[in-house]
């Protein structure tokens, strides 16, 4: 790091802030965000160039002092209680052009499916009303339009709204959801992720725009166990695709694979890598899978993607309470619904209903600044399951095949009780239907 110190707010002969420490970050093999900021600063015909110049000046000053000089405040658009992250500079006298640098969080389309026309439109709007600086996408999943003045915040939002975009969540609310690219482009997908996402968000969008929860609650949707949106540890409500029947095997493709890679490679990279030893290779180069032992980790399917694919009886598992890091430490989502069919509109309605029940429980029972995983940790899983009217199920596992959190000192007895409860429930439903 350079030890060149600059005077607070020092500029060169062209009026650009001198930034020796930031310049260091442009060295090395990776793209640098500093280069991006400078590109915006040097866009001579753009109205935001002076703002970006002062932004760079303030950032250099922050690096020098090892302190951020932004403070929050209240900025919002009509009818909304969240979605804008206000930032006011504490050193505005030295960097007046960037004294207000607010961020608009805008909800992306489910699965981040854009076309270039709409992307150009979004860029044009932000060049007119903001700094030109956009992050696709922030941690929450939103498109982050960074750097608007207080006055332009409403104007930019109105334009985004006209082209069909809405603000996302910020604060103690239902947050913007994320789904993987999904069935539209991925053969591993086990349900319609986009439909599941939109179903929940559209129904409860009011809880996104007007924060009224004890703390944030996030929804993420992955189509399979590869979990491309990291739902298991980033979402309070994770929906992850899976299947109940057998993995589909094309033995001809297995043979092709072995012809290309060899038996040793296949054993080393597929058979031995199965976490539950469910895969075996026969002498005649066919593959066998003990599907009862398979935990749907996706490894063998990922490696032999022409030969293997998820079964036909598809659906999703729901895990509640994931987040890293919480006050109680990192938490993976807890398996609460081991399998839910998501084929019909009715199935999707059930999912939306369940999401509503979870949020109601959260709103009623969580303490201030407590995520639902912490609430469950505090009150205990049995109390949570009882509150949600969910029967304990041996398929609710902490760690595949080793720690079902249904008591297992006499597993057979517990399993029998479970099947009896299931039978009784089915009988009740039949009576109700009649």
Binding site for ligand SF4 (CB under 6 A): 274-276, 278-279, 289, 294-301
Residues 6+ apart with CB under 8 A from 64: 5, 6, 21
Determine contact, residues 202/195, Cβ cutoff 8 Å.
Answer: no
Q: How do 219-222 and 237-243 pair as beta strands?
A: parallel
19 by Cβ neighbours in 10 Å (0-12 / 13-18 / 19+) ranks as: buried
| Distance in Å, CB of 91 to ligand SF4, minimum | 54
Q: How far is it, in rounded angstroms, from Cα 265 to Cα 253?
A: 15
Which of 285/414 has CB closer to ligand SF4?
285
Determine contact, residues 165/206, Cβ cutoff 8 Å.
Answer: no
Which of 160/243 has CB closer to ligand SF4?
243
Q: Does an H or E element contain 320, and which? A: strand 314-320
Long-range Cβ pairs for the range 120-128 (8 Å, 24+): 121/163, 122/160, 122/163, 122/165, 125/156, 125/159, 125/160, 125/163, 126/156, 127/46, 127/48, 128/156, 128/159
Q: How far is it, in rounded angstroms, from Cα 213 to Cα 108?
A: 23
Determine contact, residues 148/156, Cβ cutoff 8 Å.
Answer: yes
Which of 104/300 has CB closer to ligand SF4?
300
| Distance in Å, CB of 254 to ligand SF4, minimum | 13
| Distance in Å, CB of 285 to ligand SF4, minimum | 18
Q: How far is it, in rounded angstroms, from Cα 327 to Cα 307?
A: 44
| Distance in Å, CB of 339 to ligand SF4, minimum | 15
Which of 43/309 has CB closer to ligand SF4?
309
Q: How far is it, in rounded angstroms, from Cα 370 to Cα 237?
A: 15
Which of 239/274 has CB closer to ligand SF4?
274
Which of 137/296 has CB closer to ligand SF4?
296
- Token pair in block for residue 31: 């793209």
DSSP code of 98? G
| Distance in Å, CB of 245 to ligand SF4, minimum | 13
| Distance in Å, CB of 343 to ligand SF4, minimum | 22
Determine contact, residues 55/67, Cβ cutoff 8 Å.
Answer: no
Cross-strand pairs, 393: none
Q: How far is it, in rounded angstroms, from Cα 38 to Cα 135?
A: 16
| Distance in Å, CB of 270 to ligand SF4, minimum | 7
| Distance in Å, CB of 313 to ligand SF4, minimum | 15
Which of 18/397 has CB closer to ligand SF4?
397
| Distance in Å, CB of 289 to ligand SF4, minimum | 5
Which of 25/297 has CB closer to ligand SF4?
297
Which of 106/300 has CB closer to ligand SF4?
300
Q: Does an H or E element contain 133, and which? A: strand 133-136
């Amino acid at each position: 790091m350079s030890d060149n110190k600059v005077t607070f707010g020092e500029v060169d002969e062209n009026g650009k802030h001198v930034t020796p420490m930031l310049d260091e970050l442009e060295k090395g093999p990776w793209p640098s965000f500093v280069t991006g900021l400078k590109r915006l600063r040097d866009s001579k015909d753009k109205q935001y160039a002076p703002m970006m110049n002062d932004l760079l000046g303030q950032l250099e000053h922050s690096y020098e002092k090892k302190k951020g000089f932004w403070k929050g405040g209240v900025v919002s658009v009509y009818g909304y209680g969240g979605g804008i992250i206000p930032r006011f500079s504490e050193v505005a006298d030295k960097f007046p052009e960037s004294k207000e640098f607010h961020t608009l969080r805008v909800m992306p389309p489910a699965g981040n499916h854009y076309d270039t026309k709409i992307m150009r439109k979004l860029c044009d709007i932000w060049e007119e009303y903001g700094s030109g600086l956009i992050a696709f996408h922030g941690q929450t999943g939103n498109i982050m339009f960074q750097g608007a003045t207080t006055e332009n915040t409403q104007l930019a939002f109105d334009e985004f709204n006209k082209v069909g975009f809405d603000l996302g969540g910020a604060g103690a609310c239902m947050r913007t959801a994320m789904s993987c690219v999904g069935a539209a482009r991925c053969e591993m997908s086990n349900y319609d992720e986009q439909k599941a996402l939109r179903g929940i968000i559209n129904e409860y969008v009011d809880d996104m725009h007007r924060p009224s929860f004890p703390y944030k609650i996030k929804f993420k949707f992955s189509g399979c166990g590869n979990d491309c949106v990291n739902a298991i540890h980033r979402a309070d409500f994770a929906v992850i695709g899976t299947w109940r029947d057998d993995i589909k095997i094309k033995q001809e493709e297995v043979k092709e694979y072995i012809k290309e890679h060899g038996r040793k490679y296949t054993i080393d990279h597929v058979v031995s890598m199965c976490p539950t030893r469910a895969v075996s290779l026969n002498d005649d180069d066919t593959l066998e899978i003990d599907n009862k032992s398979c935990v749907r980790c996706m490894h063998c399917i990922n490696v032999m993607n022409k030969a293997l694919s998820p079964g036909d009886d598809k659906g999703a598992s729901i895990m509640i309470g994931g987040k890293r890091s919480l006050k109680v430490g990192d938490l993976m989502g807890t398996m609460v619904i081991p399998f839910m069919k998501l084929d019909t509109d009715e199935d999707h309605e059930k999912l939306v209903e369940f999401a509503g029940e979870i949020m109601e429980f959260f709103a009623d029972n969580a303490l201030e600044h407590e995520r639902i995983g912490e609430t469950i940790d505090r009150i205990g899983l049995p109390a949570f399951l009882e509150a949600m009217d969910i029967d304990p199920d041996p398929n609710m596992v902490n760690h595949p095949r080793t720690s079902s959190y249904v008591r297992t000192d006499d597993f057979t007895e517990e399993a029998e009780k479970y099947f009896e409860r299931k039978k009784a429930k089915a009988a009740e439903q039949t009576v109700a239907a009649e």
